[in-house]
Amino acid sequence: MISSIITGPVTAGPGVQRRTAGATRTQRPASFSLLALRRSLPSTTELLSSANISRMHEPVAMDAIDRQILALLSENARRTVRDIADRVKLTVAPVNRRIQRLERIGVITGYSARINYGRSGTVIEAVTELRFTGDLDLAQIVSFAAELPEVQEVLTVAGDPDALVRIRANGIEQLQAVVNRLRTGGSVTGTKTLVVLESWRRES
């Protein structure tokens, strides 16, 4: 089964009133949201560059606390840094630095909400198998498929087929149009499309 995601906003909590020398000022509490951190994430164009796609597969140094942070954010992307800090037994500042580092090195590429489009009744999700002539790397396949806004994800796989493309379309006609455009790629020798009926995803 296939599940899908869309990006959703995160809002910060209310400010805290503090009096200083007879004046009242507002101070943001320590349990701030991750919205400010998201603004520094790379754009889609930057992520799809050949150099960045190659770096996505390079291992990076992470310790047990980094992995705890990733697990917590995977479980709930709306967690505040304060909540994460409490759970990993650190203060807010070092956790904030760790999250920024994980974003900078490409381990965290975005924050999102999981949506069951099958329940909406308006969107069709499908997975299309692609077969190519010759040997193409992921960067070449992504460069070809990323031109279609309906394409949500591209995976290269071992064996047959050569790649899987996850598509989200507004109706069967749009889905057929997307698949036809994929077929027109000069190196594509065959496709097979599977329509998603329901989806399930294991919670982290």
Which residues belong to CATH 3.30.70.920 in the chain? 116-195
pLDDT given for residue 145 in this prediction: 83
pTM summary value? 0.46
What value does the mean pLDDT take over residues 137-160? 84
CA separation for the pair 86, 120 (Å, rounded) = 37
Higher pLDDT, 78 or 41: 78
- Using the predicted structure, report yes or no on whether residue 150 has a pLDDT greater than 80: yes
What is the mean predicted confidence (pLDDT) over 34-52?
Answer: 52
pLDDT in the model for residue 134: 77
DSSP output for 64-132? HHHHHHHHHHHH-TT--HHHHHHHHT--HHHHHHHHHHHHHTTS-----EEE-GGGTSS-EEEEEEEEE
Q: State which fold the 116-195 domain adopts.
A: Alpha-Beta Plaits (3.30.70)
At 36 the pLDDT is 52
**What fold is seen in the domain 30-113?**
Arc Repressor Mutant, subunit A (1.10.10)
pLDDT score, position 30 = 44
